[in-house]
Structure formats: structure tokens, C-alpha cells
A and B are shown apart, each in its own frame.
Chain A
Amino acid sequence: MNRIFLDVHALQTVPPSNLNRDDTGAPKTAVYGGVPRARVSSQAWKRAIRTCFRDEHLLDPAELGVRTKKIVELLADRIAGLDPSTEREDALRLADETVKAAGFKTEVPKRKADQAKKDGGPAPAPESKYLVFLSSRQLDGLARLALEGAADITAFLKTKENKARARELADTRHSVDIALFGRMVADVADINVDAAVQVAHALSVHRVDNESDYYTAVDDENTDEETGAGMIGTVDFNSATLYRYAALGVHQLAANLGEGLRDDEPRTEPVRRAVEAFVHAFVDSLPTGKINTFGHHTEPDAVVVKLRTTRPISCVAAFEDPVRSDGGGHLREAADRLAAYASDVERAYGNPETTLTWVLRVGPATQKLADLGTEAGTLGELTAAVGRAVAERLEKKPA
């Protein structure tokens, strides 16, 4: 098997902020190298990446998926879109039968049904029991299938052949975000998709103790006699230089994406686009926790991308011994350590003949990283170079 992995490493400094909170409202932390560190969970950053796909228009909406329980209503909308003469009630029934034939269990949510009865409103549409993640392409396919059998949907979907078609439609041409981050459907095992990407929790390269900001807010309408604050409170925060890491199984992504979304393009095209979008969004995304309080809009100071045939390797161990800020700031030492560790670990365990490395960096503090690989001038250049190399590797026959 042709194995291709993409390692993405980033150093990113965030000023006082609270990107990802725990249940007490404090920024998440972990212990590493025996000292407390700032942590941003992988789930939080993956969500930021998915949002970035949409907000930055990195991918066509048709390539993205939607994650919802309201799958029946969503499909009914598509059916009505294809055939506007369909009554709402019929569309919902067609959609429900088709969703069930595809393998998802649905039910009318009891509380909403009770409420509707009390208010005398229309009965609510059935919902799936779990969050279902379907691509636009898959929804369109299912909508067309539903309309094909509109005359007698129950009998139509009872045949083995049509039932199999429904399942296949839900299990091919996955959206890019499903192919990257996976899909778990607890009761339809055969259309689970294993994620092609591992995103590690971001960890600060140095010791971090959370701080607490005590604030008072003045009531603008207070008279001079009312001298007290309108309210008081605290906000927990920290600032950190984070090491961020993700490993992408490109061969796995290719398998998840299948033949691609359009027939008029090379087979490697969807993978190339997905990889470019992922690298762009990984670098450019930022969890938005308390962003209006702290305005922590930063970009990574340095990004290192490696395309390789051997196992992915995280460089987090470079920071197990926490960076100290004796020289002012943590970035320079973090960049020096990453440069040294990455080349050390590569020499010991990598394959220099098949590994390509790119570097995108800002400022003199990250200078040492320049020697690791080809420097890219902009994020656009970086993603384009990585995308091109991925497409070339995929086209090559396995050795």
C-alpha cells in the first residue's frame, strides 16, 4: 500500500485569552514535563477548522457536510427543491422512509410532539436518534432516490435493490469534513467513517498558571450618590506559546473520499483540494472562546509541514522540558528546540529520500526553522506546494 502522511506542526503565541474553557470557566490545562501547561482541546480546534472551511470559502458547500438530527426535514427540503409540486407532508414522509432505508433510525421527539399537541400545532417531523453527518452530495442522491419511488415509497424501498442503493448513497462520496474528521453513527456501523486526521491537544511549550482578572462594571445610569459598581466578577485567562500538531493519513483520506465529487476531474483532485483546505484551515483557524473579551487574533509564528511515507511523528517531546523565558518571550527558544528536535528525530527514524518539508515562518525568532525545508513565502504558496506534492505522490504507483 502506498502510505502517505502529512505532519503539520505549528508554534502559535496567544496573548491573554480563554480559548477553551472547562466547567469552572477557566482555560483548560494539562500537566506535561511535570509542570502545568495551557491546553486547547483537539475537539475545540477541530471545530474551529470545520468552521474555517465554511467561513473562508475553502471548499465548495457541496463538498461539506452537515451534522444534524433533523435529517428528515433537511432531506424533505431537498425533495421539495427538486420537485416543488411535492406537498410538505408528502416530502417529509418520503424523506423519513428514505432516511430509514439508508440505515438511520428515526423517531418523533416525544417532548416536541406533546408540546405540539398542547398548542394544537402540526406534529413535528421525525428526527434521527443521533447526530448524522451527511454531505450535500449524499443528500441530493437520497432526494433523487426518494422522488424516483414517490408513487409508493414503502413498496419501492422494500426491494432489496433499492434499499441497497439508499445505503450506498449514504456511504459514498463523503463530504471533505467527514473524510477528514470521521463520522460516528452509533446504530449504523457500516457507514461509520474513520477519521483520516489526528489533531493533538494544543499544549503550551512553557509553564502556565492561569490568572484571574477581577473586573468591575459601572452602571452608566447611576447618580452621584450611588457610588458602587454595577457588577463585579472575574474572568480567568492565560497567555501561551502553543505547540500544535496534526497528522493526516493522505491515503486514508483518499479512500474515504472515494472517486471524488465530480466525474470531469482527475481522481487525485478531491484529495488535493481537501489537503490544501485542511492545511490552510489548520494554520488559519482559531477557537473563538471569549474572543470579544480578549481579541486574541493571532496567526502561527511558524508552521512546519512534512509529507512522508514513514510513520507520523509529533515533536511535542521537544517541549517536555518546559521552555523558560529568560531571554524574553518563549518563541525563539521554542523555534530553536523544534528545529533541533525535528531534524534529530528525522535523522534517527525518518526516511530522507521520501520526506518533503516546507516551512512558513514569521520574524527573526523563528530563523533556525528555515533550514528544515523549503521556505514558503505565504500561506497560499505553502498550501499549493503541499497540494501539488500530494497529487504527485498519489499518482505514483506504489513501489
Chain B
Amino acid sequence: MSVLALRLAGPLQSWGASSRFTRRTTESAPTKSGVIGLLAAAAGIERGDDGALAPLAALRFGVRIDQPGTRIRDFHTAHHGVTGASMPLSERYYLADAVFVAAVEGDRTLLTSLDDALRSPVYPPYLGRRSCPPAGPVDLGLYEDAGLEDVLRNVPWQASAWYRRRHWTVPRTLTVLRETTADEPAVTADVLRDQPVSFDAAHRRHAPRTVLTDPVPTPMPAGGGGPCDAHDPFAALDALAALDILEG
């Protein structure tokens, strides 16, 4: 098995799992349908092409919450194009300031082609809603002969420099939300209806999916590579630690 990792960061993201009407909510972390949709769009898979979507939807999915962000509410008005009359008001919720690492596990050939597609996409990626382009590139690397759990355990913490500065006690653990493996009992799992079946605009369909919540120890950046490592937010912390101000 191989794993493709993505860094999902931007001023605004919105990952809806159940809302289609005037109250558009967001989950606290990227949904599988949202991330698979992003990959399918990059690969140029058209909305009604359920056959081409199926192998992507079959990838095992997990996401790690590196910086949870805050929810903001957007009040949205629309007016009739001709009469100017008000259309129904809607509320849209966004996650501001959030950073996630999403990962999909599956066949190497497929993941290689998706990795390439992210570098030169047919339809450019967005973070759950078209008005939310990612900040910087999303591709974070293809890990060959690796498992989903390992990658989500080892990809260095992606939180922004300001966030690390402000939270100068590094969180001990990060939350991982991942799909169960075939032989794993799902007794303690949650169910989320975000397993994509069809993105056809006429009958978008999602199946229920079991989601396990695991804490993983926060993996610290080892230095070098990656969009986040240009900053060294820990230099100051190390200095403080040397003075015995910081504990563990």
C-alpha cells in the first residue's frame, strides 16, 4: 500500500456533510467526500462519471487536525436578477485559520497519478467550497509502502508559525479521524455520511462511513523540506527550555 498526503490550509475552509439548504454547516475536519472530490476534480473526472470515481472513493481516508481553527458564520443574501426582490437568506459556516493533514491509502499507480494531477490539475482544488482556495500547494508527498496510520503519525506537525508561537506548550497529541481497516472492529466508531458514491449534480449520493478517532503524539518537524519548515518557531522555545522555564 502507498499513501498520498495533503496539507489543507487556508484562511477559510468549509466541509459540509449534511447541509444543502439555507443553513450550510461545516464539520470540524475535512470530509472524505470533500477530499476525494478535490482529488477527482484535479484528475479531471467529470461529475457524472461514477465509474471513474469508484476507485478514488475506495481509497482509505484519514485526516489529522493540526490546527483546529475557529468557526465563523457568514450571512449571505441574494437578490432576484430582474426584480431585485430578496431571495432566501442563507447562513454559511466556515472554519477560519485551520490546518489539516489529509491522507488517502491505496494502490501506488493510482496515487502517483493523483499526485501528478495535484501539480497540474484539470479543475483546481478548493477547501470544501469554491471560494476557499488553499494557501499554497496542497500536495505533501507520496509515501510508498506505507500505511495510513504511519503517515498520519509521522508527517511533521503542519501548524502555522503564529500558532506555534502562541501555543508555546506544544500539544501532546493531535486528533486523527480515520477509516477502520477491514479486520478492525468498529465498535467505538462514529458514523458520518460522507462516503462518496456519486457526484452527479442530479443525484449526489453519499453512503455512511465509519470513522475512528485516535490521538497520535504530535510529530515534530525534523527540519528541512516542507512548506512550514522555513520558519523555526522552536528556536525561541529551545532557548527558554534551556533556562528551565519550560517543562516537558
| Residues of chain A at the chain B interface (Cβ within 8 Å) | 1, 3, 5, 22-23, 28-34, 37, 41-43, 66-70, 131, 184, 189-190, 192, 194-195, 198-201, 203, 245, 247, 249, 251-252, 309-314, 316-317, 320-321, 345, 348-349
| Shortest Cβ gap from B88 to chain A (Å) | 11
13 extra A-B contacts, CB within 8 A, seeds A29-B72, A201-B131: A3-B120, A23-B89, A41-B74, A41-B131, A43-B78, A67-B81, A68-B82, A131-B80, A131-B81, A195-B130, A201-B11, A247-B124, A247-B133
Listed by A's residue number, 9 A-B pairs whose Cβ atoms lie within 8 Å are A31-B97, A68-B80, A194-B123, A198-B131, A201-B131, A203-B11, A247-B124, A314-B133, A349-B137
Q: Identify the stretch in B22-30, B155-163, B215-223, B234-242 within 8 Å (CB) of chain A at 4 or more residues.
A: B155-163
Q: Are B124 and A34 in contact (CB under 8 A)?
A: no
Whether the Cβ atoms of A320 and B82 lie closer than 8 Å is no
- Tell me the minimal C-beta distance from A220 to chain B in angstroms: 31
Query: Contacts A3-B120, A200-B133 given: A31-B162 contact, CB under 8 Å?
Result: no
Specify which chain A residues have a CB less than 8 angstroms from the CB of B96 in the assembled complex.
30-32
B72 touches A30 (CB 8 A): yes
Chain B residues, Cβ within 8 Å of A317: 9, 135-136
Indicate if B212 sits at the interface (CB-CB under 8 A). no
Query: In this complex, what residue of A is CB-closest to B166?
Result: A34
Say how far B20's CB is from chain A's closest CB, in angstroms: 10
Residues of B near A68 (CB, < 8 A) are: 80-82
Question: For the complex, what is the distance from the CA of A195 to the CA of B75, rounded to whole Å?
Answer: 22
Chain A positions within 8 Å of B97 at CB level: 31-34
Q: Are A310 and B120 in contact (CB under 8 A)?
A: yes
Q: Mark B180-199, 1 if CB is under 8 A from A, else 0.
A: 00000000000000000000
Most chain A Cβ neighbours within 10 Å, of B75, B120, B131, B133: B133
Contact A1 B124 (CB under 8 A): no
**A204 CB to closest chain B CB, in angstroms?**
11
Give the contacts of B75-121 with A (CB-CB under 8 A).
75-76, 78, 80-83, 87, 89, 94, 96-97, 118-121
In the complex, the answer to whether A313 meets B137 with C-beta atoms within 8 Å is: yes
Query: Contacts of A29 on B, CB cut-off 8 Å?
Result: 72
Residue in A192, A309, A311, A321 whose beta carbon sits within 8 Å of that of B124 in the complex:
A311
State the CA gap A249–B10 with chains docked (Å): 20
Chain B residue at smallest Cβ distance from A248: B124
B76 near A41 (CB under 8 angstroms)?
A: yes
B134 within 8 A of A: yes
**Chain B residues with CB below 8 A from A42, complex form:** 130-131
Instruction: Decide if B232 is an interface residue (CB 8 Å cutoff).
Output: no
- Residues on A with C-beta less than 8 A from B133 are 198, 200, 245, 247, 312, 314
B83 to chain A, nearest CB (A): 8
**B70 to A189, Cβ gap below 8 A?**
no
With A203-B11, A311-B137 as known contacts, state yes or no: A43 contacts B124, CB within 8 Å.
Answer: no
User: When the two chains form their complex, are residues B131 and A43 in contact, meaning their CB atoms are under 8 A apart?
Assistant: yes
User: For the complex, what is the distance from the CA of A32 to the CA of B160, rounded to whole Å?
Assistant: 11
The distance in angstroms between the C-alpha atoms of A252 and B124, with both chains bound, is 10
Q: Which residues of A contact B48 (CB under 8 A)?
A: 189
Inter-subunit contact A34/B163 (CB<8 Å): yes
| Bound-complex Cα distance A184 to B47 (A) | 13
Contacts of A349 in B (CB 8 A): 119, 136-137
Q: Which residues of B contact A67 (CB under 8 A)?
A: 81
Partner of A316, one of B10, B80, B94: B10
Partner of A312, one of B83, B124, B201, B202: B124
**A316-B124 contact given A23-B75, A41-B131, CB 8 Å threshold:** no
Mark out the residues of chain B between 31 and 67 whose CB falls within 8 Å of any chain A CB in the assembled complex.
44, 47-48
Contact between A43 and B76, CB atoms less than 8 A apart: yes
Q: How far is the CA of A34 from the CA of B11 in the complex (A)?
A: 10
Q: Which residue of A lies closest to B132 (CB)?
A: A200
Q: How far is the CA of A105 from the CA of B11 in the complex (A)?
A: 39
B200 in contact (CB, < 8 A):
yes
Query: B116 to nearest A CB, angstroms?
Result: 11
Q: Is the CB of A32 within 8 A of B120?
A: no
B5 within 8 A of A: no
Q: How close is A187's CB to chain B, nearest CB, in angstroms? A: 8
Tell yes or no: B126 within 8 A of A by CB.
yes
CB < 8 Å: which of A251, A310, A345 contacts B136? A345
> How far does the alpha carbon of A125 sit from the alpha carbon of B11 in the complex, in Å?
45
Interface centre among A5, A66, A251, A311 (most CB of B within 10 A): A311
User: Cβ of B8 < 8 Å from any Cβ of A?
Assistant: no
Question: 9 closest A-B pairs (Cβ-Cβ)?
Answer: A189-B202, A42-B131, A67-B81, A317-B135, A189-B201, A23-B75, A31-B96, A32-B11, A22-B75
Task: Give a binary string over B153-174; 1 marks a CB under 8 Å from any A CB, 0 the rest.
Answer: 0000000111100100000000
Bound Cα distance from A190 to B201, whole angstroms: 8
Write out the residue numbers on chain A whose beta carbons fall within 8 Å of the beta carbon of B130.
42, 195, 198
Across the interface, which residues of B come within 8 angstroms of A198, CB to CB? 124, 126, 130-131, 133
Return chain A residues, CB-CB under 8 Å to B207: none
Nearest-CB distance from B68 to chain A (Å)? 12
A34, A310, A312 pick with most chain B CB within 10 angstroms: A34
Contact B121 A320 (CB under 8 A): no
Tell whether, in the assembled complex, residue B121 and residue A314 are in contact, meaning their CB atoms are under 8 Å apart.
Answer: no
Q: With A34-B97, A320-B160 in contact, do A131 and B87 touch (Cβ < 8 Å)? A: yes
Q: Separation in Å of the B8 CB from the closest CB of chain A?
A: 13
Report the separation of the CA atoms of residues A268 and B230 in the bound assembly, to the nearest whole angstrom.
42
Q: Is the CB of A5 within 8 A of B124?
A: yes
Q: For the complex, give the distance between the alpha carbons of A201 and B72 in Å.
A: 13
B131 near A314 with CB under 8 A, answer: no
C-alpha spacing A194/B200, complex, angstroms? 12
Q: Give the Cβ gap from A308 to chain B, nearest Cβ, in Å.
A: 10
